[in-house]
Structure 1
Amino acid sequence: MGRNSKFPLSRCEVAAAVGVVASLGLGLAAVYFSMPSSDYSFLKLPRTLEDIQDLRDNLESYTSDYTIQVLVGYCIVYIFMQTFMIPGTIFMSLLAGALFGVVHGVALVVFAATAGASSCYFLSYLIGRPLVFLLWPDKLSFFQKQVARRREKLLNYMLFLRVTPTLPNTFINVASPIVDVPYHTFFLATIIGLIPAAYVTVRAGIAIGELRSVADLYDFQAIAALFFIGIVSVTPTLISRNQAVDNA
């Protein structure tokens, strides 16, 4: 089916995106109707630290009594936000810490973030090319060149990108299938590389009342630690490149 000259997506591609939205929407509806009758006006996508505190205060009792429903609802919302590049997942990570603690919170965030990134990857594989070229042409060209240069040690490079704030995670999710990053490499780099940042954010969520702004999450020490981990992950690539130059 051909594309409309005024719209970058075909009908089949739009149908695929609508199908993803419908599936996630049905999941949320199932969670909602399985919960007890109550006033859920407090439910909203968190945008501020105050929103996180309100959600924590209202969801704590539900989390202990309806753990499965809260977990499923949390994951669906997180996956939806990741899939469609909706800002605010950092607040969802803070909420995980506030509700579930460090260990369970990190596991939950890494799982939901990896699932959402994977969903975004496959959706972008179907419909993302025209949108990525439209939104980030220069950044996409840079990313494509870097991936091509590091093809032999691509996992190390993708880990470096996930651990450090060199490129936004949203862009990595959308652009990776466009520049031919294999899914298994994308998946491993995501599930491993997101752990350090998830730990920092989830741990901060436990003391949410002490945060004044999101900027307090990433002080110099935290950012330096993330870059150190990123440098360690990319070191094998640098070593192999130097050896190749020496042997040439």
Structure 2
Amino acid sequence: MAPTRILTRDEELGVISDDDDSPSGKRSKLDRFPLSRWELAVSLGVFLVFSSGLCCIYMTMPAAEFGKLKLPRSIADLRLLKDNLANYANEYPAQFVLGYCATYIFMQTFMIPGTIFMSLLAGALFGVFKGVVLVVFNATAGATSCFFLSKLIGRPLITWLWPDKLRFFQAEISKRRDKLLNYMLFLRITPTLPNLFINLASPIVDVPFHVFFLATLIGLVPAAYITVRAGLAIGDLKSVKDLYDFKTLSVLFLIGFISILPTILKRKKIVE
């Protein structure tokens, strides 16, 4: 299958400027917002729909001291949030899980930083098994929403933000069409490419949804286990950077290597 050429925004619109090589032309490209009015309206509409659903869920939850609740941005914030939520989660487990899932999926869909703290919180409040199930479910659901949102309006945005990285990703995907699931598993398990980029770029480079979904569902389990397990000892954790030391990264890359081993063996047989 021939790789799909990624068009620039001007090429998509059929606009070619004579002075693109001039300094002013380059400056205008950098300053130009990539989304059209229609695409911006669609993105805002989707955001409002998700926001309204999240607000409705919050409004139906039992009363709490919401002034103490905020998205954690540090380990210290996370410890305070965990203390404030522990009793609430025990008294209203179903409502709390619903609110937790809605918040996690919302953050993942719209690329809001902080989901790693939500994963640590899952370990601190629910333990390893329930925590991993929750994190993998929410991360997969959020990545799926992000995938379809990017499929709708993501091409100009990601081409504008990461043109070189997108070309590299497209070339790698094109070379591995026959064993694409293995390659996507490798990317999900290892920190080779950020998950945010994978979510946005996959529909642009024609990664089939079933491959994207399976790779996300399975590939996020190792990292989710590491993060959730760390949440059990949140009092000893000083920084998020402590989660991924050399030993942890080595284990993730070993698991990732195992996932692409069939591809390597197949290529070796073909060469022979």
Q: Residues 131, 24 of structure 1: CA spacing in aligned structure 2 closer, same or farther, 3 A cutoff?
A: same
Q: Match of 1:233? A: 259
Question: What amino acid maps onto 1:239 in structure 2?
Answer: L
Q: Does 1:242 align with 2:242?
A: no
Deviation larger for 202-211 or 71-80: 71-80
Call closer, same or farther: CA 1:229–1:40 in 2, change over 3 Å: same
1:100-119 correspondence to structure 2 within 5 Å:
100-119=126-145
**Residues 191-222 of structure 1, C-alpha deviation per residue, up to 9 Å, x if partnerless?**
00000000000000011000011111112221
**Match of 2:204, as an amino acid?**
I
TM-score (norm 2): 0.85
* Match for residue 217 of structure 2 among 171, 184, 191: 191
CA apart distance, 1:7? 4.5
Task: Identify the match of residue 173 of structure 2 among 135, 147, 159.
Answer: 147
In structure 2, how many angstroms separate the alpha carbons of the residues matched to 1:64 and 1:12? 45
Rg: which structure is higher? 2
The one-letter code matched in structure 1 to 2:218 is I
Q: Match for 1:211 among 234, 237, 245? A: 237
2:98 & 2:44 partners in 1: Cα distance?
A: 21
Aligned counterparts of 1:54 and 1:24: Cα–Cα separation in 2: 27
Q: Flag structure 2 segments of 5+ consecutive residues without an equivalent.
A: 1-11, 16-31
Q: Please give the root-mean-square deviation of Cα atoms over the aligned residues, in Å.
A: 1.7
Q: TM-score, normalised by structure 1?
A: 0.93
SS in 2 for 1:41: helix
- Note the C-alpha offset of 1:56: 0.7
1:24 CA displacement:
2.2
CA offsets 1:115-152 (integer angstroms, 9 cap, x no match): 11011100000111011111101110110000000000
Give the percent of matched residue pairs that are identical in Structure 1 and Structure 2: 63
Q: Which amino acid aligns with 2:101?
A: C
The alignment status of 1:84 with 2:115, answered yes or no, reads: no
More displaced 10-residue stretch of structure 1: 12-21 or 61-70: 12-21
1:32 matched residue in structure 2: 58
Q: Identify if the C-alpha distance between structure 1 residues 7 and 220 changes in structure 2 by more than 3 Å, giving closer, same or farther.
A: closer
| Counterpart Cα distance in 2 of 1:141 and 1:225 | 29
Q: Which moved more, 1:122-131 or 1:35-44?
A: 35-44
Q: Is the 8 A contact 1:98 1:207 kept in 2?
A: yes
* DSSP 3-state at the match of 1:181: coil
User: 1:11 Cα deviation (Å)?
Assistant: 4.1
Give 1:36 shift: 2.9
Single out whichever of 70-79 and 227-236 deviates more from structure 2.
70-79
Q: Alignment partner for residue 187 of structure 2, among 141, 157, 161?
A: 161
Amino acid at match of 2:132: V
Q: 1:200 aligns with which of 222, 226, 246?
A: 226
Q: Please give the residue correspondences for 1:171-182 in structure 2 after superposition, counting only pairs within 5 Å.
A: 171-182=197-208
